[in-house]
């Protein structure tokens, strides 16, 4: 299929509606059945909603906020806004109302679309603090309510409003990045930014009109927004909207996707879940499974493989791997991973099952893809080569070993800037408007990019060695006993960690150890549990350097969530918030160690 060309999202929308009218576009599960909306039906709703928004006075240059998970109405609102020259400002249902209020005020939104009556009520409670917000729209309000989605469709049918054709430089969306250290920043993405990224995605990934995805990545995030919603829509593919995160596996089997856009956390769950299942199988199946993965990995690495190994892999694939793939619907051609670093171990594992995962890299500010692995240019462990039209450079002055440095990106995908943040814009743009990502990384001789951490998160140990905690944390979370973790060691002799224990896995282990009657609090204080978790840390950090490894740990059962404000909606740890609660507990790890060393010294 030829790569479609367009300069703005309205042009893309009109092209797809015209070409693919009778095809299925969005699938939603209702009363146990998948119900599909066609391109033509969707196009009609967009036209009506555009007219409805226009009847409220929404015009070019306005901002329209939306708080909703993925649903058909989310996409209707997005394309309706584009056709009015208004900017869509997406937010997460999981965010706190105070964050909604900050974003509404920062972008001066004139209208807000709320997914549920409960969200609408919360917005009404903060409306006094948001003076620009004039209109509230509820997606689930009854049609009799003039603020309802249905009422706006009806108003739009009576008020036909042709779509304008935005210029490439015109703002399409303001996506607020989740601040780990302060208020979120509004990233201004133009129609041209997003259109260029969609075109590049089509050039590197073999997407086709017959492709179907299971949509669980939030469209409020730039990855889901561009690489799934827009990219698949522009080619005539279809998207089944996942019921909920805990329904992913069931929905995969029901809709049989051919492609999957995901984040490492989902692949980590697959890795963990399959390994747990295999651990309960008879020894002959376990051994065949492990041998099959090992041989598949050798083939992937272009290592020599003997005839017996090939037979082993063929048997493992027929008896085990095929059944695992069937749980994904049986049609999955490949998956694309972004949003965070994917462990090499997990990538090789998924690849060994017969599902190719192409990992990419980018940020909201790069609309979002900057580099990606792709067919014919795939190097596991890297985040791929620059996409067409994009250039990646390394500023080694920000590194400490002469090899790595700050990743700088240039191209048509670079944001217009942060909304109302002049000082920060000056800091992130070079003289030629290349973008300083704040990420550490390096390029190999073939131009593949490797990400090694965040500049702001790295710290120096007492011995002068620099540590980037995020890659180590991601690796440790592969353990079935570790739900989350924060590594710390700023200006200290060694690293320690606050570990959120996976209590389900721990309880199962405790029952096997005769500790089943112990309370969660008692288990976390048990020295045997500490030894178990330390053993897991040593196992999963084996490939890291000695100075990076964890020496002491503190355990907790309280996970990092958006509700307790310890992670952002995009799952990044808010280290400052975690430290505010657990700082004394973490400090005690060093004090206890110093006390024991002093006692040992006195005794000698």
Percentage of the residues of the chain whose pLDDT score is greater than 90:
86
**Do 343 and 478 meet the contact criterion of CB atoms below 8 Å apart?**
yes
Tokens read off for 387 = 């996409």
- The arithmetic mean of pLDDT across residues 548-564, rounded, is 94
- Residue 398 confidence (pLDDT) above 90: no
Tell the CATH superfamily of the 9-259 domain. ANL, N-terminal domain (3.40.50.12780)
- State residue 568's pLDDT score: 85
Q: What percent of the chain clears pLDDT 70, i.e. is strictly above it? A: 97
Q: Which of 395, 424, 544, 555 is nearest to 485 (CA)?
A: 555
Distance between CA 374 and CA 378 in Å, rounded? Answer: 6
- Residue that has been written with the tokens 């083939």 in this structure: 299
Looking at residue 53, its pLDDT comes to 99
SS3 assignment, position 214: strand
pLDDT at 35 over 80: yes
Mean pLDDT of the chain: 94
Q: Tell me which CATH homologous superfamily contains domain 459-603.
A: ANL, C-terminal domain (3.30.300.30)
Residue range 65-104, pLDDT digits in tens: 999 999 999 999 999 999 999 999 999 998 989 999 999 9
Model pLDDT, residue 602: 44
For 27-36, what is the mean pLDDT? 97
Dihedral sign, Cα of residue 195, residue 201, residue 207, residue 212: negative
Q: Report which secondary-structure segment, H or E, holds 408.
A: strand 405-410
H-helix segments, 108-245: 117-126, 149-157, 191-204, 222-223, 231-233
Evaluate if residue 541 carries a pLDDT over 50. Answer: yes
The residues near 106 (Cβ < 8 Å, ≥ 6 apart) are 176, 183, 186, 419, 420
Query: Are 111 and 134 in contact, with CB atoms under 8 Å apart?
Result: yes
Dihedral angle over CA of 557, 558, 560, 561, nearest 10? 130
- Neighbour tally for 515: CB within 10 Å: 16
Q: Quick one: pLDDT at residue 517?
A: 86
Give the separation between CA 106 and CA 102, rounded to whole angstroms. Answer: 6
Q: How far apart are CA 595 and CA 288, in angstroms?
A: 49
pLDDT in tens, 565-582: 898 887 889 999 999 999
Angstrom distance (rounded) from CA 278 to CA 283 = 9
Whole-number Å distance between alpha carbons of 278 and 447: 38
The tens digit of pLDDT for each residue in 419-458 reads 999 999 999 999 999 999 999 999 999 999 999 999 999 9
Distance CA 267, CA 253 (A): 16
| Secondary structure class of 65 (helix, strand, coil) | strand
> How far is the C-alpha of 362 from the C-alpha of 437, rounded, in Å?
9
Examine residue 486 and say whether the peptide bond preceding it is cis (omega within 30 degrees of 0). no
Per-residue tokens: 199: 């075109």
Give the residue from 221, 223, 220 showing the smallest Cα distance to 201.
223
The answer to whether 376 and 203 are in contact (CB under 8 A) is no
Q: How far apart (Å, rounded) are the C-alpha atoms in residues 573 and 11?
A: 38
pTM over 0.95: no
What's the pLDDT at 334? 92
C-alpha dihedral (197, 211, 220, 565), degrees to nearest 10:
-120
- Selection from 85, 75, 76 nearest residue 163 by Cα: 85
CB 501 within 8 A of CB 481: yes
In tens, the pLDDT along 160-197 reads 999 999 999 999 999 999 766 678 999 999 999 999 99
| Domain layout of the chain by residue ranges | 9-259, 459-603
Confidence of residue 1 (pLDDT cuts 50, 70, 90): low
Is there a shared CATH topology between the 9-259 domain and the 459-603 domain? no
Q: Which of 537, 539, 543 is nearest to 496 (CA)?
A: 537
pLDDT tens per residue across span 254-305: 999 999 999 988 898 899 899 989 999 999 999 999 999 999 999 988 999 9
Q: Which of 438, 448, 269, 230 is nearest to 360 (CA)?
A: 448
The mean pLDDT value for 482-506 works out to 96
Nearest to residue 110, comparing CAs of 39, 76, 40, 61?
61
Other beta carbons less than 10 A from residue 604's beta carbon:
5
Give pLDDT, residue 180: 63
């Amino acid at each position: 299929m030829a790569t479609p060309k367009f300069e703005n999202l309205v042009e893309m929308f009109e092209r797809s509606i015209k070409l693919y009218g009778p095809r299925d576009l969005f699938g939603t599960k209702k009363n146990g059945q998948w119900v599909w909306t066609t391109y033509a039906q969707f196009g009609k709703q967009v036209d009506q909603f555009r007219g409805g928004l226009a009847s409220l006075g929404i015009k070019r240059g306005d901002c329209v906020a939306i708080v909703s998970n993925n649903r058909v109405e989310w996409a209707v609102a997005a394309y309706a806004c584009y056709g009015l020259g208004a900017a869509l400002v997406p937010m997460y249902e999981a965010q706190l109302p105070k964050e909604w209020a900050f974003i509404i005020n920062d972008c001066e939104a004139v209208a807000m679309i709320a997914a549920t009556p409960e969200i609408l009520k919360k917005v009404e409670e903060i409306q006094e603090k948001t003076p620009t917000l004039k209109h509230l729209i509820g997606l689930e309000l009854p049609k009799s309510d003039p603020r309802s989605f249905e009422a706006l469709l009806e108003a739009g049918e009576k008020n036909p409003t042709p779509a304008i054709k935005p210029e490439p430089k015109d703002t399409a969306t303001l996506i607020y990045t989740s601040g780990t250290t302060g208020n979120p920043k509004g990233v201004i993405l133009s129609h041209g930014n997003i259109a260029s990224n969609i075109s590049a995605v089509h050039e590197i990934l073999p997407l086709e009109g017959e492709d179907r995805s299971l949509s669980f990545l939030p469209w409020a995030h730039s990855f889901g927004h561009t690489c799934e919603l827009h990219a698949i829509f522009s080619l005539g593919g279809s998207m089944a909207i996942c019921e909920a995160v805990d329904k992913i596996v069931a929905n995969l089997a029901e809709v049989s996707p051919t492609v999957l856009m995901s984040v490492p956390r989902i692949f980590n769950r697959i890795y963990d879940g399959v390994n747990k299942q295999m651990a309960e199988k008879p020894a002959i199946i376990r051994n065949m499974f492990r041998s099959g993965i090992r041989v598949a990995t050798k083939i992937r690495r272009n290592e020599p493989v003997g005839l017996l190994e090939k037979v082993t892999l063929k048997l493992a694939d027929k008896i085990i791997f095929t059944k695992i793939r069937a749980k994904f619907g049986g049609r999955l051609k490949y998956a694309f991973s972004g949003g965070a670093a994917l462990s090499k171990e997990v990538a090789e594992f998924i690849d060994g099952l017969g599902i190719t995962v192409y990992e990419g890299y980018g940020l909201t500010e790069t609309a979002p893809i900057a580099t990606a692995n792709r067919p014919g240019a795939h190097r596991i462990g890297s985040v791929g080569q620059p996409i067409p039209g994009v250039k990646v450079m390394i500023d080694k002055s920000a590194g400490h070993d002469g090899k790595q440095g700050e990743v700088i990106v240039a191209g048509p995908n670079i944001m217009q800037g942060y909304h109302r943040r002049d000082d920060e814009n000056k800091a992130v743009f070079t003289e030629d408007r290349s973008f300083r990502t704040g990420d550490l990384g390096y390029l190999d001789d073939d131009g593949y990019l490797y990400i090694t951490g965040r500049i702001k998160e790295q710290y120096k140990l007492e011995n002068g060695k620099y540590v980037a905690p995020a890659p180590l944390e991601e690796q440790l979370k592969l353990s079935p006993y570790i739900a989350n973790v924060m590594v710390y060691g700023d200006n200290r002799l060694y690293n320690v960690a606050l570990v959120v224990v996976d209590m389900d896995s721990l309880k199962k282990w405790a029952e096997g150890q005769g500790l089943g009657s112990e309370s969660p609090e008692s288990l976390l204080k048990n020295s045997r549990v500490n030894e178990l978790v330390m053993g897991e840390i040593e196992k999963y950090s084996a490939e890291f350097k000695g100075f990076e490894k964890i020496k002491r740990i503190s355990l907790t059962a309280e996970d990092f969530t958006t509700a307790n404000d310890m992670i952002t909606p995009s799952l990044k740890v808010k280290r400052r918030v975690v430290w505010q609660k657990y700082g004394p507990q973490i400090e005690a790890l060093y004090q206890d160690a110093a006390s024991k060393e002093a006692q040992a010294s006195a005794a000698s």
